[in-house]
């Protein structure tokens, strides 16, 4: 059964534009006689070629963002059908298995899926850390819908505690991570933080992971730690300070490495080095870890002992010819009609690629990565 195979409505004008874009095409293929102020602006400024893009069969998806319900915000047009991709198709591009059921409104699914860490990327990171350390009990801060928890869980970690303040993402997390103690609420609230610390210490947490929002990271001219918008990041640092795990993993936007001429990344590193951690960060390309999506994120790893450089996994795929494509990812759903948010749809097609076998539960993550 396929859950969340729901799509999003388009205006008549958007539909006209969508129909004019061929597979692999973009806004440049849209005729001039279709009225659109946004298109006029894009044509003048020379907008990104991913805007109003239609997915190509032979290539991976571009980054799935929280706006995959809007054709003008990226490459979200289905390769065959005149619609944007469904929530389930977006989840597959993120490497979530089909039995991972997202809860909440249609709009919230965009935020939950678009903000998630691809579980297969998390799995590769977790597997490598597991090889180098004796860590086993995990705290997931800013857990969202649970992409990091899922990947680390696949690698054998015990998800002790998780925290987030997004109600509908928490509903999804509870359904899919029944063994974890999810504390829903604002991490800046002293009572919430006290619960997180109490249960983490009781559960002997020795690794903390998370992706704190960092809206203020681009605020030039100020110390990042003093920016009020980065209060959530400060709480991540404070919890690491109080629990003192053997390892922490912080996931964030790729720009964090270059913002303010690298000063922001230097500030992040110093915050943790002052706590006694050896810290290093790298940009990781999800598509090189078996994810059918060109998503780049920065992963910062800190450890109290050992070289964090050795905690980073080596890519599974080095040749673009071997990337998992759109056809590989969602080809078995091409002829499956989209439904509504409450009712799952039965898949009557057979998987034609090993990625499809993986998301349909016919291959474990361990079996999947061995195929590269």
Radius of gyration of the chain (CA): 21
Q: How many CB atoms lie within 10 A of CB 51?
A: 19
CA 357/CA 350 separation, integer angstroms: 9
Residue 64 contacts residue 295 (beta carbons within 8 Å): yes
Positive or negative, the Cα torsion across 102, 117, 329, 20? positive
Cite the active site residues: 214
* Phi/psi of residue 132, nearest 5 degrees: -95, -15
CA 154/CA 158 separation, integer angstroms: 10
Tokens 């198709």: give the residue: 89
CA 279/CA 319 separation, integer angstroms: 29
Positive or negative, the Cα torsion across 66, 161, 209, 211? positive
Tokens representing residue 279 in the block: 């810290």
């Amino acid at each position: 059964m396929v859950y969340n195979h729901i799509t999003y409505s388009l205006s008549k004008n958007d539909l006209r534009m969508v129909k004019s874009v061929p597979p692999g095409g973009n806004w440049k293929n849209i005729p001039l006689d279709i009225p659109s102020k946004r298109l006029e602006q894009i044509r003048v400024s020379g907008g990104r070629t991913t805007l109003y893009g239609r997915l190509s069969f032979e290539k991976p998806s571009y980054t799935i963002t929280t706006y995959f319900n809007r054709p003008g915000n990226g490459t979200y047009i289905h390769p065959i059908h005149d619609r944007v991709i469904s929530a389930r198709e977006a989840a597959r591009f993120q490497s979530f298995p089909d039995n991972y059921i997202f809860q909440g409104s249609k709009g919230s699914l965009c935020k939950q899926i678009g903000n998630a860490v691809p579980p297969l990327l998390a799995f590769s990171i977790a597997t490598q850390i597991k090889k180098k350390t004796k860590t086993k009990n995990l705290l997931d801060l800013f857990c969202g819908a649970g992409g990091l928890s899922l990947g680390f869980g696949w690698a054998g970690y015990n998800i002790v505690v998780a925290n987030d303040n997004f109600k509908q993402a928490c509903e999804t997390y509870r359904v899919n991570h029944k063994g974890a103690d999810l504390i829903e609420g604002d991490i800046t609230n002293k009572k919430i933080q006290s619960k997180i610390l109490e249960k983490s210490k009781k559960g002997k947490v020795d690794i903390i992971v998370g992706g704190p929002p960092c809206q203020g990271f681009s605020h030039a001219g100020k110390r990042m730690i003093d920016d009020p918008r980065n209060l959530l990041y400060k709480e991540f640092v404070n919890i690491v300070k109080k629990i003192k795990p053997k390892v922490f993993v912080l996931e964030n936007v790729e720009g964090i490495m270059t913002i303010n001429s690298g000063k922001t990344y230097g500030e992040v590193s110093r915050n943790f080095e002052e706590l006694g951690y050896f810290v290093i960060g790298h940009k990781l390309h999800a598509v090189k870890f078996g994810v059918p999506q060109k998503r780049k994120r920065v992963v910062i790893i800190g450890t109290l002992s050992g070289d964090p450089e050795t905690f980073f996994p080596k890519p599974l795929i080095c040749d673009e010819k071997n990337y998992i494509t759109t056809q590989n990812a969602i080809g078995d759903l091409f002829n499956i009609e989209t439904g509504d948010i409450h009712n799952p749809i039965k898949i009557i097609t057979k998987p034609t690629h090993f990625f499809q076998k993986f998301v349909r539960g016919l291959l474990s993550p361990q079996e999947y990565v061995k195929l590269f």
